[in-house]
Amino acid sequence: MINRKSNQTGLSILAIALLLIFQQFASKVGNLIANCFDYRAIDEYGIFAYVSVHHIVQMLIALLAIIILNKKYKIDFGFSLGDKKLGIKYLLVFTVAVLIFTLISYGIRFFSNQIIKYDYPLNVKNVLGTLGFQLLLSGTSEEVLFRALPIGILTFRIGSNNEKKFTKLNLSYEVIIAAVLFSIAHIRWTINPFSIDMNYLQLIYCFVLGIVYGKAYQESNSVIYPMLMHSISNVIMVGLGYIFSTISA
């Protein structure tokens, strides 16, 4: 019995390590392919075209893995509407909370003369390009790679049930692990030359958002709602940043 439990733990740890490697692989391949193109004709400031290609590539890699795993192991990765009532509730409550938080944050910065200054002009192309990326690709790509894929695999591997839940917030192991992996993905590193760059506040912020997105995903049994939550929150943050920057100009 002890050996069996030890083997299960070992396999779960291996699954987490492989997920981390795969996510880093998908992101790096996205960078490699995105670097193959010259975007100056459509994006002279390099603010939306490159990152759009990167996110499309990493999403396609993740989707390929999901298709293979679904066919082989019949894992449910949550690409249905799931619990629509609960999913919409999460979406609405989260959107209102992000809107209020962002308005307060930017309001404080505005009245203390600390509004973000952009190193590119806020013209129609730049605004629509960046907001279009945030709305259509940021949440869509990242929730496939960092939510549906890891939580789907870990639920299959660990076997989430009522006994697997813990803490008063009723969070599962899979959601927390996926949130940690999501935070790690925001650590910038290179091999040649070797360097590691991390913003601790950003990592904490990503972890908290990862918990919220993961809980919405697991409870609604659909990745669609965290995709929308992720994308809409990014649009709110970037869009309000543009508005406050324009007002203060």
The closest of 213, 157, 188, 153 to 24, measured between CA atoms, is: 188
In tens, the pLDDT along 25-73 reads 999 999 999 999 999 999 999 999 999 999 999 999 999 999 999 999 9
Cα–Cα dist 23/146, whole Å: 8
**CA end-to-end distance (rounded Å), the chain:** 68
Q: Tokens standing for 159?
A: 């076997």
In the predicted model, is pLDDT for residue 199 greater than 60?
yes
pLDDT at 2: 53
DSSP single-letter state for residue 145: I
So what's the pLDDT on residue 114? 87
Express each pLDDT in 87-125 by its tens digit: 999 999 999 999 999 999 999 999 998 888 899 999 999
- Look at the chain and report how many structural domains it folds into: 1
What does the pLDDT average to over 154-175? 69
Backbone torsions φ then ψ of 199, nearest 5 degrees: -110, 110
Distances from the Cα of 82 to the Cαs of 67, 78, 85, 184, 222, in angstroms? 19, 7, 9, 28, 5
Domain boundaries, position 52: 2-248
Q: pLDDT tens across 207-223, in order?
A: 999 999 999 999 999 99
pLDDT for 50 equals 98
Position 161 pLDDT exceeds 50 = no
> Which positions ≥6 away from 5 have C-beta within 8 Å?
none
pTM of the model: 0.91
Is pLDDT at 24 greater than 80 in this prediction? Answer: yes
d(CA 33, CA 51): 11
